[in-house]
Amino acid sequence: MLDKSHIGRTWPSHSVLVEAGRLRFFAKAIGETSPVYIDEAAAKLAGYRSLPVPPTFLFSLELERPAPFEWLAFLGVDLARILHGEQRFVYHRPACAGDLLTFESRITDISDKKQGALEFITRETRVSNQAGEHVADLTSVIIQRNA
Amino acid sequence: MMTFDEMAVGQLLPPLQLPPIRRSTLALFAGASGDHNPIHIDLDFARSAGMPDVFAHGMLSMAWLGRLLTNWVPQQRLRSFEARFVSITHLQNAVTCTGLVVEKLEVDGERRIRVSIQSANQYGESKVLGEAVIAL
Q: How close A127 comes to chain B (CA, Å)?
A: 14
Confidence of residue B124 (pLDDT cuts 50, 70, 90): very high
Record the pTM: 0.95
Rounded to two decimals, the ipTM of the complex is: 0.95
Of all residues in chain A, the one with the smallest CA distance to B68 is A32
| A30 to B60: CB separation less than 8 angstroms, yes or no | yes
| B29 to A29: CB separation less than 8 angstroms, yes or no | yes
pLDDT score at B111: 96
Of all residues in chain B, the one with the smallest CA distance to A141 is B84
Burial-class residue A55 by CB neighbours within 10 Å (0-12, 13-18, 19+): buried
pLDDT score at A50: 97
Q: Which amino acid is at B131?
A: E
Strand, helix or coil at A36? helix
Name the nearest CA neighbour of B79 among B9, B132, B17, B121. B132
The β-bridge partners of A126 are A104, A137
Which residues in chain A are contacts of B33 at CB distance < 8 A?
A: 26, 29, 57, 59-60, 63
Strand residue runs (E) in chain A:
14-17, 82-91, 100-113, 118-128, 134-145
| B33 to A81: CB separation less than 8 angstroms, yes or no | no
Which residues in chain B are contacts of A63 at CB distance < 8 A?
A: 33-35
Q: Are A112 and A147 in contact (CB under 8 A)?
A: no
pLDDT score at A76: 87
pLDDT score at A69: 81
Which residues in chain A are contacts of B86 at CB distance < 8 A?
A: none
Strand, helix or coil at B20? coil
Average pLDDT score over residue span B110-133 = 98
Contacts A–B by Cβ distance under 8 A: 107
Question: Which residue in B37, B69, B80 is closest to A90 by CB distance?
Answer: B80
Q: How close A144 comes to chain B (CA, Å)?
A: 12
Question: Which residue in A29, A84, A94 is closest to B32 by CB distance?
Answer: A29
pLDDT score at A48: 97
Residue B97 has pLDDT above 90, yes or no: yes
pLDDT score at A1: 84
Which residues in chain A are contacts of B35 at CB distance < 8 A?
A: 60, 63
Q: What is the mean pLDDT of chain B?
A: 96
**pLDDT cut 90: percent of chain B above it:** 91
Q: Tell me the pLDDT of chain A (147 aa) as tens digits.
A: 888 999 999 988 999 999 999 999 999 999 999 999 999 999 999 999 999 999 999 999 999 887 788 888 888 888 888 889 999 999 999 999 999 999 999 999 999 999 889 999 999 999 999 999 999 999 999 999 887
Residue B9 has pLDDT above 80, yes or no: yes
Residue B33 has pLDDT above 80, yes or no: yes
Per-residue burial over B61-98, b = 16 or more CB atoms within 10 Å of its CB, e = otherwise:
bbbbbbbbbbebbebebbbbbbbbbbeebbeebebbbb
pLDDT score at A73: 85
pLDDT score at A74: 85
- Residues contacting residue B111 through CB under 8 Å, at least 6 positions apart: B4, B104, B105, B135, B136
